[in-house]
Amino acid sequence: MPAPAKSGSARIRRGRGCVGRLHPRRVPLFRLLMTIFRWLLGPALLGLLLVAANELAVARASRRTADVAYVPAADSAYDATRHRLDVYAPRQPSPAPRPVVVFVHGGSWASGNKDFYSYVGRRLARLGVVAVVVNYRLAPQVRVPQMADDCARAVLWVQTHIGRYGGDAGRIYLMGHSAGGGLAAWLATDDALFARRGQPRNPVRGVILDDAAGLDMYDYLRRMEFSDDRQYLVPFGPEPAGWRAASALYHLHAGVPPFLVFVGAKTYPSITRSNEKFRQRLAALGAAPPYHVLPGKKHAAMVLQLYWPGNVIYRELRAFVGAGTPQR
């Protein structure tokens, strides 16, 4: 006679060692782990897909021309990596030349690269401007005056060549975050930076400052409030006269181009202090700038927010430079 069927519990015990068989007490835990895994992975994948789709849509609206040398290779100071810029031009044709925005990155005058800020170039182009994102030499290779000279040479290259990309050489605006903001402000306020390169008239028509640093390094370095402040003597040098000369605050004069200023409400106190002094000095000259303190924003967030096309900086910038309808 066939052996009597064994109970279900016996069958389960016999199957413990079989591949694909789970003990009933382990099944709820397994299902729980799988549910958690799907719950965590699902939003992450969805987020990545949304970011990728957004980048594709933004990229389609512009054409990037990368790694253009703005200093001749025969120049004794030529740096094959740092003397480069990228141009982002809207794909949609325009009946008239477009305004130009030159973006100068930050990085404590010792780091940073234009390639990281491609998202800024793409989004500026989508606003209907021709965007230029520049590299420049950094400390310890050079000091801040040489960085400013590099940026001036980049602007002069733009003035000469931007027409072929649909830009208006008569409407060049500068934009900078952190150290890049300090350099942009210096270029706009010190005509000598261009005059020594053979351009007696400053080509900058306006400046957008995004949590700018270095507007008054003369005051900052005299204070030496923090233990690591001596690191800034590498890019600025040891002499107070040099700190003052490299600070845009002391080059302000009647007739400077207009400024559009943004400061994070939770940025570094020194940036808050120097931007407020800069605003007050402009106001005393009869050129009080639009001045926006953005709630909750720390220093890094002030540039990272430029990833989002609808943020307040882009909205104000478009009106400031006179851009047309944003690209779709």
Confidence band for 13, pLDDT divided at 50, 70 and 90: very low
pLDDT in tens, 238-262: 999 999 999 999 999 999 999 999 9
pLDDT in tens, 145-159: 999 999 999 999 999
Would you list the domain boundaries of the chain?
15-60, 64-321
In this prediction, residue 54 carries a pLDDT of 53
CA gap 141, 294 in Å, rounded: 35
In this prediction, residue 173 carries a pLDDT of 98
Percent of the chain past pLDDT 70, that is, above it, reads 81
pLDDT surpasses 50 at 318? yes
In this prediction, residue 313 carries a pLDDT of 98
Q: Are 103 and 181 in contact (CB under 8 A)?
A: no
In terms of Cβ atoms closer than 10 Å to its own Cβ (0-12, 13-18, 19+), residue 109 is buried
Confidence band for 58, pLDDT divided at 50, 70 and 90: low
pLDDT surpasses 60 at 56? no
pTM for this entry: 0.83
- Rounded mean pLDDT of 306-322? 96
Q: What is the architecture, at CATH level 2, of domain 64-321?
A: 3-Layer(aba) Sandwich (3.40)
pLDDT in tens, 82-126: 999 999 999 999 999 999 999 999 999 999 999 999 999 999 999
Confidence band for 30, pLDDT divided at 50, 70 and 90: low
In terms of Cβ atoms closer than 10 Å to its own Cβ (0-12, 13-18, 19+), residue 18 is exposed
In this prediction, residue 26 carries a pLDDT of 52
Query: Nearest-CA neighbor of 122 among 107, 137, 101, 105?
Result: 101
Q: Which residue has the tokens 């989004």?
A: 123
pLDDT surpasses 60 at 23? no
In this prediction, residue 325 carries a pLDDT of 59
pLDDT in tens, 159-209: 999 999 999 999 999 999 999 999 999 999 999 999 999 999 999 999 999
In this prediction, residue 57 carries a pLDDT of 55
In this prediction, residue 150 carries a pLDDT of 98
